[in-house]
A = this chain, B = another copy of it.
Amino acid sequence: MAVCFQSQLKPTTFFPSSTNTSPKTSSVLSFQFRCNFSLPTLAVTEPEPVLLSVESFAPATIANLGPGFDFMGCAVEGLGDYVSVTVDPSVHPGQISISDISGALPSVSKLSKNPLWNCAGISALAVMKMLNIRSVGLSLSLRKGLPLGSGLGSSAASAAAAAVAVNELFGSKLSAEELVLAGLESESKVSGYHADNIAPAIMGGFVLIRSYDPLELMRLRLPEKTNLHFVLVSPEFEAPTKKMRAALPAEIGMSHHVWNCSQAGALVASILEGDLVGMGKAMSNDKIVEPTRVPLIPGMESVKKAAIEAGAFGCTISGAGPTAVAVTDSEERGKEIGERMVEAFFKEGNLKAVAMVKALDRVGARAVAKVPR
């Protein structure tokens, strides 16, 4: 069933506090900032923390899905970021400190420990602001499982995990869509005010963003028994979101508009019916965005062709790329498809790539460990 979330909250611009230079008191190098966003404060009375510490996980996400450009996304199982938040008396009340950032991938070193320049930090602070937290300071550690700039919603995963962790710490006062609003504060800093990664990262499954003002999200439920597998192939190539966005056409001809709209409708219907062939076909059928971005990712055209020839139901670019995503109905077939796609990236794009076969994450961001007070 499609469930519609609606909020009357109006998204607002992020305004960092002018008091963001307060000295840190933790033993670990970090930055602390008062949460002073212009987000609405939803808690009338400041809630107490119900736990000492929460560790949360948020999944990778695939935005766009072809014709769902800028309004659809879904979450991917077994791949994502972890965030721990802990009540820390050494952190100034109402502030947050990023104590640690870890992860196997070298790109992790690029991440700032300044909470105002870190996706997890911005999102955590936004939740603190919405909860009206003024009496408790938190320390946060981030463990990246996702590479940066891969088109798999790396920033959204960090933001989603942080939002859920802080919310859980204070007794889960905020709804999923309020957490999406908090995560959007972070996303707007990184790639623009788009919820097609952050919404599925928090809510799981497939999500359609129906409007931003007010924020309205539709969960599109894939039938339980559908054997959906995504083949995700990430090449060693940087496809900056800004560059990929600059490639988009400013104006679209009516016939292409009608075509993409019809494919978006077919995509939604296929998801709700669990029709993987229809879903793959719709994902493959974007005539507006994908054609402008494919030439910017070496080998992508051949990768898509290789995926289809190997039996994938469809293939497109995940988010702004460079990861390619194909759809199939078995893990084994997915592995074969992935091998052909990796070969094509190497042969036609001269790029090394890694393939993964992943199922849909239906849960979204969640606490994975809790330490009582």
Contacts and interface: CB of A to CB of B under 8 A. Distances in A.
Contact of A266 (B1, B208, B249, B250): B208
Contact of A265 (B4, B252, B267, B278): B267
Contacts of A258: 69-71
A232 to B, nearest CB: 23
B262 A265 contact: no
A249 B252 CA distance: 10
**Interface size classification for chain A:** 35 or more
B265 A254 contact: no
Main DSSP-derived SS at the A contact region: mixed
A265 B1 contact: no
B251 A253 contact: yes
A257 interface: yes
B260 A257 contact: yes
Contacts of A262: 70-72, 208-211, 264
A248 interface: yes
A212 to B, nearest CB: 10
Interface stretch (A10-18, A100-108, A269-277, A365-373): A269-277
A2 B264 contact: no
A68 interface: yes
Interface in A204-227: 208-211, 218, 220
A292 B4 CA distance: 29
A278 B268 CA distance: 14
A4 B278 contact: yes
A111 interface: no
A67 interface: yes
B257 A248 contact: no
Interface in A222-264: 248-254, 257-258, 260-264
A4 B275 CA distance: 10
A324 interface: no
Interface of A: 1-2, 4, 67-72, 208-211, 218, 220, 248-254, 257-258, 260-270, 272-273, 275, 278, 288
25 contacts: A2-B278, A4-B278, A68-B261, A69-B261, A71-B261, A72-B265, A208-B266, A208-B269, A209-B262, A210-B263, A220-B269, A249-B254, A250-B253, A251-B251, A251-B253, A251-B254, A252-B252, A261-B261, A261-B264, A262-B264, A265-B265, A265-B268, A268-B268, A269-B272, A272-B272
Given A220-B269, A252-B257, 18 more contacts: A2-B275, A67-B261, A68-B261, A68-B265, A71-B261, A72-B262, A208-B266, A218-B278, A251-B253, A251-B254, A252-B253, A257-B257, A260-B261, A264-B264, A265-B267, A266-B268, A268-B269, A272-B272
- Top 7 A-B residue pairs of the complex, sorted by shortest distance between their CB atoms: A71-B262, A251-B251, A265-B268, A2-B269, A268-B268, A261-B264, A70-B258
